[in-house]
A and B are shown apart, each in its own frame.
Chain A
Amino acid sequence: MPEPLSREEFAVLVKRAGLDLTQANIDDLYSAWPHIERFTAMLRNPARGREAEPAHLFRPLNPEGV
């Protein structure tokens, strides 16, 4: 699992997202951020090959638009 984000690094993420939050808002979100880090880490599966489980299958529309 990667190093947890510091509060300052988290604030940069918020700013990059374009959210204009107060410090209290940022602190509140940061308090729950470990849950999100836990979830994102859980989804990284080193055993999953690069080609495995395509997330999105693109299918061209037929002439009827379906």
Chain B
Amino acid sequence: MDAFPTIASAAADLAAKKISPVELTRHMLARIAKLDGQLHSFLMVTEERALADAKAAEARFMAGTPRGVLDGIPIAHKDIYGTAGIRTTAHSRLLEHNVPAADSTVVRKWAEAGTVMLGKLATHEFAMGGPSFDVPWPPARNPWNTEHFTSGSSSGTGAAVAAGLILGGTGSDTGGSIRGPAAFCGIAGIKPTYGLCSRAGVLPLTYSMDHTGPMAWTVEDCAILLQAMAGHDPTDPASSTRAVPDLLSGLNRGVAGVRIGVVRHFHETDHKVNATVQKGIDDAVEILRNQGAVIREVTLPSLVEFQAAGFLILISEAYALHEKWLKTRWNEYGELFRDRVSFGGLISSADYVEAVRRRRELQQAVAAAMAEVDILLTAGAPTEAPKIEGMPKWSSLEKPGFTIPFNLTGQPAMTICSGHGAGGLPVGIQLAARPFEDALLLRVCQAYEKATPWRGMRPAMAA
């Protein structure tokens, strides 16, 4: 077995009977037991369930009836994804004893594909911001340096994938919660087109900006996972009725002729990135150009305009969800979540409506710019991961993030590793495509990933 199998390599080994699902699952459980005491990426390890899933997968392989590429693959779920009979807490004291009766749609789909569920992963409280030290479980730590932040909120998934404790996992993304941890933990994470993947059964942060999506070590693994989670779900009112695109067959088709728009002002003016991130972007441009992509520069509204509309919509909708508990159970929340979301109760209804009107204008501006390009390219995060202790409480309000524009527009966006900076900590680039062009986005990311050495490097603590 590879020291660090990917989903694709493990699937090949399982199909060739070089390993069994039970052996693979025991290998991952042993890694979790050895390393997660330092990382805190899991809130719960479901060992018994994992071994039962693995034995069922093994029986299918022995009978010659495996369910497909995900059969026997060990994964885990962010702890906002409802899991039948298994505690689902949103990393919050308020839901410390919450046990859903049913699986969320995505959990059910991955289970039906044959995955092995290793457990439930850390988030930040109710999938917002972080890190918090005053909630019942500690925040996940970055495996590249455990004194550093993972970003969030899909923090446990980012840490567990990077450390090789799981082969893939679920994330959710309302303002960047898949793409932030992908950047800081040096993995791949895609926020699919809004409506492509069901939100049903996933604890919400907002009504209009939440996306579910996969996180894994490679772009190919993300494509495999996304293929298994996408599709119409009548129980999610935002779910698209479009046919699920084939995300895998064209993955290695390359980028010749693809028009890539670099949103230079995002990372050079609106929020100037550090030298490592800038080099990652510049190198990516050259790599993609050398493979035949057509590179252009694109101008969009300023990042801060996306931040203003996005933050006000987010806190308004989150406040509506949490109003009752904020009024009656204030002290049971972590400080960071309750203080940020409380602003949603202090702004006016006109503020919210103006934010939604501005959202439509921003969406139209991005759509117009994308008439001339197929893909947008900018930073995934402005720097390497900062230290986890002592992060300023209101820092997310001071400088705009790079990810929230695509939560407002609903278009697919992906962050992948683009190098390593201070102390070996990774940095990431972010690419975005037009709505429902998730397959093209994955193809461009795959072309970049295959041309770079970053997938050969893992955190030292994980060795």
* A positions within 8 Å CB-CB of B: 10, 13-14, 17-21, 25, 28-29, 31-33, 35-36, 38-40, 42-45, 48, 52-56, 66
Which of B130-138, B214-222, B343-351, B402-410 is the contact stretch? B343-351
Q: B229-259: which residues lie under 8 A (CB-CB) from chain A?
A: 234, 241
8 contacts between A and B (CB under 8 A): A13-B346, A14-B342, A18-B327, A19-B330, A31-B394, A33-B343, A39-B308, A66-B234
Given A19-B327, A43-B312, A66-B241, 17 more A-B residue pairs with CB atoms under 8 Å apart are A17-B342, A20-B327, A21-B330, A28-B339, A29-B339, A33-B346, A36-B397, A43-B308, A43-B351, A43-B355, A53-B358, A53-B360, A54-B360, A55-B353, A55-B354, A55-B356, A56-B356
- When A17-B346, A20-B330, A43-B309 are in contact, do A55 and B304 touch as well, CB less than 8 Å? no
A53 B330 Cβ-Cβ under 8 A: no
B27 at the interface (CB under 8 A from A): no
User: Distance (Å) between the CB of A23 and the closest chain B CB?
Assistant: 14
Task: Considering the complex, give the chain A residue whose CB is closest to the CB of B361.
Answer: A53
Task: Check if B2 is an interface residue, CB within 8 A of chain A.
Answer: no
Bitwise interface map of B from 309 to 353 toward A, beta carbon under 8 Å scored 1, else 0:
101100000000001001100100000000100110111000101
B155 at interface, CB cutoff 8 A: no
Residues of B within 8 A of A44 (CB): 354
Q: Is the CB–CB distance between B346 and A53 below 8 Å?
A: no
B361 smallest CB distance to A (angstroms): 6
Q: B397 contacts A32, CB within 8 Å?
A: yes
Q: Is the interface of B mostly helix, strand, loop or mixed?
A: helix
Which of A21, A25, A36 contacts B343, CB < 8 Å? Answer: A36
Residues of B that sit less than 8 Å from A by CB? 234, 241, 304-305, 307-309, 311-312, 323, 326-327, 330, 339, 342-343, 345-347, 351, 353-361, 393-394, 397-398
Q: Which of B342, B345, B397 contacts A35 (CB 8 A)?
A: B397
Query: What CA separation (Å) do A44 and B351 show in the bound complex?
Result: 8
Which of B307, B309, B355, B394 meets A32, CB within 8 Å?
B394
Asked if B357 contacts A53 (CB within 8 A), the reply is yes
Interface-centre pick from A13, A36, A38, A39 (highest chain B CB count, 10 A): A39
Q: Which of A19, A42, A55 contacts B305 (CB 8 A)?
A: A42
Closest to B359 in A: A55
Q: What is the bound-complex CA distance between A10 and B343, given in angstroms? A: 11
User: Can you list the 7 inter-chain pairs with the closest CB atoms, starting with the nearest?
Assistant: A17-B345, A55-B356, A39-B308, A35-B397, A43-B354, A42-B308, A53-B357
Residues of A within 8 A of B398 (CB): 35
Chain A residues with CB under 8 A of B241: 66
The residue from B311, B342, B353 contacting A29, defined by CB atoms under 8 A apart: B342
List of A residues within 8 angstroms of B357 by Cβ: 43, 48, 52-55
Please, which residue of chain B has its CB at the minimum distance from the CB of A34? B397
Q: Which residue on chain B has the smallest CB distance to residue A48?
A: B357
Q: Which residues on A sit within 8 Å (CB–CB) of B342?
A: 14, 17, 19, 29
- Point out the residue from B307, B326, B327, B394 that lies within 8 Å of A39, measured CB to CB: B307
A45–B312 CB distance below 8 A: no
Contact B308 A38 (CB under 8 A): yes
- Min CB gap A61→B, angstroms: 10
Residues of B within 8 A of A35 (CB): 394, 397-398
CB distance from B334 to the nearest CB of A (A): 13
Q: Measured between C-beta atoms, what is the minimum distance from A57 to chain B in Å?
A: 10
Closest chain B residue to A31 by CB distance? B394
A36–B346 touching, CB < 8 Å = yes
Q: Which one, A19, A32, A40, A66, contacts B347 given CB within 8 A?
A: A40
Q: Which residues from B are CB-within-8-Å of A42? A: 304-305, 308
Point out the residues of chain B lying under 8 angstroms from A25, CB to CB: 339
* Chain A residues near B397 (CB-CB < 8 A): 32, 35-36
Minimum CB–CB distance from B18 to chain A (whole Å) comes to 47
A28 proximity list for chain B (CB < 8 A) = 339
CA distance A49 to B323 in the complex (A): 32
